[in-house]
Structure 1
Amino acid sequence: MSGENEQAGGGAQGAPPEQLALIRESVRKAAVPRAKPRTWRGAALAKELPVARVLVDKGVLHLDRYFDYAVPEELDADARPGVRVRVRFGAGRGRVRDGRREGGGLIDGFLVERRAESDYSGPLAALAQVVSPEPVLSEELLGLARAVADRYAGSLADVLQLAVPPRNARAERRPSPEPLPPPPAPAPGPWERYAHGAAFLEALASGGAPRAVWNALPGPLWSEELARAVAATLASGRGALVVLPDGRAVARLDAALTEVLGEGRHAVLTADAGPEKRYGEWLAVRRGSVRAVIGTRAAMFAPVRDLGLVALWDDGDDSHSEQHAPQPHAREVLLLRAAQDRCAFLLGSWSCTVEAAQLVESGWARPLIAARDQVRAAAPLVRTVGDGDLARDEAARAARLPTLAWQAVREGLRHGPVLVQVPRRGYVPRLACAACRAPARCRHCAGPLEGQESGAALRCGWCGREEGAWHCPECGGFRLRAQVVGARRTAEELGRAFPAVPVRTSGREQVLDTVPGAPALVVSTPGAEPVAEGGYAAALLLDGWAMLGRPDLRAGEDALRRWIAAAALVRPQAAGGTVVVVAEPTLRPVQALVRWDPVGHAVRELGERAELGFPPVSRMAAVAGPGEAVAEFLRAVELPGDAEVLGPVPMPVTTAAGARRPGAPPPGEHWERALVRVPPGSGAALASALKTAQAARMARGGKPENGVVRVRVDPPDIG
């Protein structure tokens, strides 16, 4: 047994044999004799089940196992499975006294199980403290967390940090309300617009477990439809969970649920609520006082009792991908919950991801769509402006906005607000020579030059130096043009063109939730579009090539999703709603927008990825780090026989606009990334192999001299 394990006081359970062998070889053996069975001399221990199996809050892979501790008699009553505890853990300061292991630093953990005996024959350290007698870790949540950790090659402790919120004593002392009786089954309402919508609600209300991929019709009724699905599940005496991408979507569903169900029947779990309120809501769910939960990404682990429905809205949104280890995606977690709890599953969006199309293609879920006449009645008119139109359009060459766009704005402002979507925030993130289109670069560091407001000098986006006398090193030109104009610059241009019309902006600095139905220009970045009262009269989708031209596998899918999300806020064509998209009309995503056919686009994308062996048809993992470290890791890992390694290739530090790329290497370091691909059915073996190799690497000393290696299963960006 390793020295670390002896200092912790317990034996390891549930780790792969190969991983344990590597750990035992890498750490020196403890000096505690093990020939005789351990005894506790002079210690008052629990008379029944004196051994506590504990999961320590250490998110390192080579310690991803349980440890056994002795249960003192004074903690016997409170030391129940699922409670938070504190234990002594760590090497270097432990000692044996009266047959017990003492010393080591105090660390938090969860008591998983009480046992009569330990598999470990050495002396056990005693539990130092029961933090709270409130059991917060159920068997179901523990099983889900273990499944998520295994799927993403991560540690159980890291997943539980995402699943169980921090304790708040005041919220814990406050009693939860008494549970309310099940409500009556709701009427189908707007679900009747879909071919099998009413049948889906009936199946939920009768206790069934239907699985559906729902392509929602444009307009504001999606929140009411989700609320009725939750109400139907509650009517069957079961619980429901809905995960949404942001707080604005949560607020809309919260209002819809209150309208359909009344007060007190659902809990809202968002980070904006504050630690005390959020933990109080979470406890009410765990105690069974509330059976319906809505929230953002972290709510995917909510401990809903008798779970009957898990639902996810807009699974293509980046917000559903967790940024903390092991970086699970909400869609995959809810799929695991649907399989574990055998409950209903609903994946809804105005658009359709390739993963959603695969669920239908495999037969695991059924499509929930409306007839084409219903789609045409609800969707706005979509018009396109391509490169050829822009080349012939004097207004577009001079002011970036084509004549058709100006006309749509002018006509739309007669009847209500007009939405303008731009793919960038800020002023002018990217500039280029007007003659040869060469990017404008800083003379000092070669960083991208950016425009500033009010005609100020250019400034470098990397080093911050101003450039007052730029000229093009390629052709000698002195004129610049914007490659992608930001939201503030677009708002400024439109404000000059329509001086009597108010202009509002919505983006990262300030995201608007709603805007009045009066005529106004609303300039927004993708994902920050506010809802207009009565819908927008028109919408402009500018610089489509900027989203379609990204070197990423999902570029077309993401562009279509963002366009449809904005166009869904526009009035139907019968009410005069018009959308103008500035992008090449012959491209597949643009055609899918014109026909309002995101499902067809996703099905064709899925077919192409199947031919090329790309996700989601295959499973993929990214291994990133310094070149020598990546090469060493790939030599050490025992990959499945059908695995294919792509790369390694250098990792870009910045995005095309000059901003630092998420997950980029530390400043001054040059990293490489390799992609490991396996066919369907080998994903679990790939994750297990990567986890074992990473655990062995950590056990040999944490961070080797040649640098750290990061492993991510199912990376969202493989471009």
Structure 2
Amino acid sequence: MLGLAHLDRPFDYLIDADQDADAKPGVRVRVRFSGRLVDGFLLDRVEESDHTGKLGWLDRVVSPEPVLGPELATLCRAVADRYAGTMSDVVRLAIPPRHARTEKEETPPRTPFDLLPPVDVAGWHAYTAAESFRHALTAGDSPRAVWQATAGEDWPARLAELAAITAAAGRGVVVVVPDQRDLERLEDACAPLLGDRCVTLAAGLGPTARYRRWLAVRRGAADVVLGTRSAVFAPVHDLGLIVIWDDGDDSLVEPRAPYPHPREVAVLRSHQEKCALVIGGFSRTAEAHSLVTAGWAHDLVADRATVRSRTARVVALSDEDRRVANDPLARSARIPAMAFEAARTALAAERPVLFSVPRRGYIPSVACARCRTHARCRECRGPLELDAQQRLSCRWCGRPEVSFRCAECGGTQVRALTTGARRTAEELGRAFAGVPVVTSGGSSIVDALEPGARVVVATPGAEPLAPDGYGAAVLLDTWAQLDRVDLRTGEDTVRRWMAVGALVASASAGGTLVIVADAGLAPVQALIRWDPVGFAAQELAQRAELGFPPAVTMASVDGDLSTISAFVDALDLPDGAEKLGPVPLPPGVRRPFAAGDFDGEIDRILLRVDRREGRGLASALAAGQVRRNTHHETGPIRVQVDPPTIG
């Protein structure tokens, strides 16, 4: 467990006869390595060693509990190879720290299934092929599907039903969700169906409680595991189903080396253990859709009639709409008249209205003083900002803007705008006098609303649940989401917007979703048609044409310019590999390195290969890190395969 690339392999030790009973594969041990005692795991017992030199002795068995079983060890090795990391780093993510007193506790028996209530799966009947998927699941097969949940779907209930029927068939289940709020909803849905056969694993439990539940899973006292990203490694016996909900959420991005994504770990584990896999969400990532286009997974979607019947009426800024054509300020106003109209209609019907803003607090932006069109850089079309000396510069490329002229009205003056949840709540409190205003976001999140008229201002992911859905929702400051410099800007925007739209009542029940953005934009069109599959297909096709993941395998190497240049030049890359860069990283994506904070200028080199050569690229990167360690090369670097941020 040293975490060094050149030591990422098994080492042989002799076992004393006194240790024979406890020294089982998977147990924690202490060994003497290079003159000092270090932690390790016993992987296997063999009669003879291939090592020709002298062997040392196992110092002691820390615990007789076999926590690193053969299936988990194989998975950790596969994840390390996939992400050009070390197995010890992956094991640290997969196995929680030990608590000796907890290990001595006896695990209580499980409640027999015949004492649990029957499972009603009628909620799945709206989805094409759901019945055949369910039959394959209960028959012990390993179907794989990408589930497109419809608007208004009670997704925790649907996942709880899948988990219950899989556990009733005698197989285990792992369900991974992005955050604690989703986990609590899922736990509430699973508890009535599974009782104590279901446990949750999350960092918020505390080390003792988490290790106690993890041991219950390893000892076979729980069939179903619910948790956040590290729960994908849970040692469930006879695994039959893995579910990843909302795989595009940033909370699922692992901040520790080797930065594995739970979706990719689930794909590896599904293949390794021959178990079913479901990747679900209200929207769809290009990575999930690539599994469908490759034939490795199948679509689990509802027919268009069902989709339309459950979706709210979606409107955006279009010149074909008379309300927009007759309102000269419709495109420049932050909250146009059509949004106020939808909100007043919902409030008059005693239903809540949701205003979604990208950030909490106040966010400065620069726009034309005359028409409020957002100021853009002449070079790269990026958003402009004002510094402390009131000088204009581009937030994307950093180019100073000496003079400004609005492309829409010709104005030469700019003004600073302020947006955010707090400012929006203040404005709406004055606009809708007498109506309670609720804010949700940051450290103050409201989970659910009381019935009645409410104005809710929330940031993405912090929207409260409303009884019977919101009467209307308004997506504000859409420019702040669409203007981000990121490969996944469009995909992430559609994901956030659809999560909001899914909370609104259907059009037949009077629900309206207003997007304050041009109706001609591709993300807006995806929402108007409520077609996340089509948008994901378009996104995947564009990435394939431009050579971006997941159509290709990409790796980033970050660090000092001279250090990363020397590292990449020494790599034995696969045929056809391309090197992009180096380029300096902007301050917004300069994250701490695993070895400590890096205070100097950070540059990035991108390496791109055909998807079929992804394993070769990872091997080359791992070999490069071994060479750095053995040659004692200095200077921290960070290597990421398929990094979450490309730009």
Normalization by structure 1: what TM-score?
0.82
Gaps of 5+ in 1: 1-56, 91-103, 451-471
Alignment equivalent of 1:316, drawn from 215, 224, 248: 248
Matched, 1:633 2:567: yes
Asked if residue 708 in structure 1 is aligned to residue 636 in structure 2, the reply is yes
- 2:346 matches 1:412: yes
- State the match for 1:87 in structure 2: 31
Alignment of 1:718 with 2:638, yes or no, is no
Matched residue SS, 1:67? coil
Distance in structure 1 (CA, Å) of the matches to 2:143 and 2:159: 15
Q: Output the CA distance in 1 between the equivalents of 2:300 and 2:631.
A: 52
Give the secondary structure class of the aligned counterpart of 1:264: helix
Structure 1 residue 589: Cα displacement: 1.1
1:362-401 to 2 correspondence within 5 Å?
A: 362-385=294-317, 393=327, 400-401=334-335
Structure 2 segments unaligned to the other structure (5+ residues) = 377-383, 396-401, 406-410
d(CA) in 2 for partners of 1:576, 1:291: 42
Superposition map of 1:46-125 within 5 A: 57-90=1-34, 104-125=35-56
Report what 2:177 is aligned to.
Answer: 244
Quick one: which of 279, 282, 295 aligns to 1:347?
279
State the alpha-carbon separation in 2 of the partners of residues 60 and 444 from structure 1.
48
Q: 2:457 aligns with which of 523, 548, 555?
A: 523
Name the structure, 1 or 2, with higher relative contact order (CA <8 Å, separation 6+): 2
Provide closer, same or farther for how the CA distance between residues 360 and 83 of structure 1 changes in structure 2, counting only shifts above 3 A: same
**Secondary structure of 2:499's aligned partner:** helix
Does residue 1:361 correspond to 2:296, yes or no?
no
Does the alignment pair 1:300 with 2:228?
Answer: no
Q: Is the 8 A contact 1:141 1:303 kept in 2?
A: yes
Query: What is the CA deviation profile of residues 646-684 of structure 1, one whole-angstrom value per residue up to 9, with x for unaligned ones?
Result: 1221211137xxxx6677995752222111111121100
Match of 1:282 among 199, 206, 214: 214
CA 1:661/1:289 → structure 2, altered by over 3 Å: closer, same or farther? Answer: closer
Query: Could you tell me how far 1:77 is from its partner in structure 2?
Result: 2.2
What CA distance in whole angstroms lies between the structure 1 residues aligned with 2:644 and 2:200? Answer: 27
**For 1:654 and 1:390, how far apart are their aligned partners in 2?**
36
Deviation, 1:58, is 1.0
SS at match of 1:208: coil
Superposition map of 1:448-597 within 5 A: 480-482=415-417, 485-597=419-531
Instruction: Return the alpha-carbon distance in structure 1 between the equivalents of residues 319 and 624 of structure 2.
Output: 50
Aligned to 2:164: 231
Task: Find 1:434's aligned residue among 369, 375, 378.
Answer: 369
CA distance in 2, matches of 1:178, 1:712: 43
Measured at CA, do residues 62 and 390 of structure 1 come closer, stay the same or move farther in structure 2, by a change above 3 Å? farther
Q: Which residue of 1 aligns with 2:380?
A: none
Q: CA deviation at 1:186?
A: 3.0
Assess, with a 3 A threshold, how the Cα gap between structure 1 residues 264 and 560 changes in structure 2: closer, same or farther.
same
Query: Distance in 1 between the 2:140 and 2:118 partners?
Result: 11
2:131 corresponds in structure 1 to 198
User: In structure 1, how many angstroms separate the alpha carbons of the residues matched to 2:245 and 2:388?
Assistant: 46
Give 1:199 deviation, angstroms.
2.3
Q: Distance in 2 between matches of 1:698 and 1:339?
A: 33
8 A contact 1:286–1:304 mirrored in 2 = yes
The residue matched to 2:265 in structure 1 has which SS?
Answer: helix
1:4-47, CA deviations, whole angstroms, 9 ceiling, x for partnerless residues? xxxxxxxxxxxxxxxxxxxxxxxxxxxxxxxxxxxxxxxxxxxx
2-structure distance, mates of 1:344, 1:543 = 40
Alignment equivalent of 2:120, drawn from 177, 187, 196: 187
1:172 aligns with 103
Q: Residue 459 of structure 2 aligns to which amino acid in structure 1? A: T
After superposition, the CA RMSD in angstroms is 2.7
Which of 192, 197, 204 in structure 2 is aligned with 1:259? 192
Aligned to 1:338: 270
Q: Which amino acid aligns with 1:718?
A: I
Structure 2 CA distance for aligned equivalents of residues 185 and 346 of structure 1: 22
Q: CA deviation at 1:397?
A: 7.8
Q: Which moved more, 1:565-574 or 1:394-403?
A: 394-403
One-letter identity of the residue aligned with 1:423: P
**Secondary structure of 2:554 counterpart:** strand
Using a 3 Å threshold, how does the CA distance of structure 1 residues 236 and 522 change in structure 2: closer, same or farther? same
Deviation at 1:559, TM superposition (A): 0.6
TM superposition shift of 1:478:
8.2
More off after superposition, 357-366 vs 409-418: 409-418
**8 Å CA contact 1:622, 1:675 repeated in 2:** yes
Name the CA shift for 1:171/1:259 in 2 (closer, same or farther; >3 Å): same
Q: One-letter code of the match for 2:165?
A: A
Query: Shift of the alpha carbon at 1:385?
Result: 2.2
**Alpha-carbon separation, structure 2, partners of 1:632 and 1:683:** 22
DSSP 3-state at the match of 1:128: strand
Corresponding residue of 1:695? 626
Q: Which residue of 71, 90, 93 maps to 1:140?
A: 71
Q: What CA deviation, in whole Å up to 9, does each residue of 1:135-156 have, x standing for no partner?
A: 1000000000000000000000
Is the Cα contact below 8 Å between 1:242 and 1:295 reproduced in 2? yes
Whole-angstrom distance in 2 between the partners of 1:428 and 1:619:
35
CA distance in structure 1 between the partners assigned to 2:422 and 2:441 by the alignment: 9
Q: Where does residue 328 of structure 1 map in the other structure?
A: 260
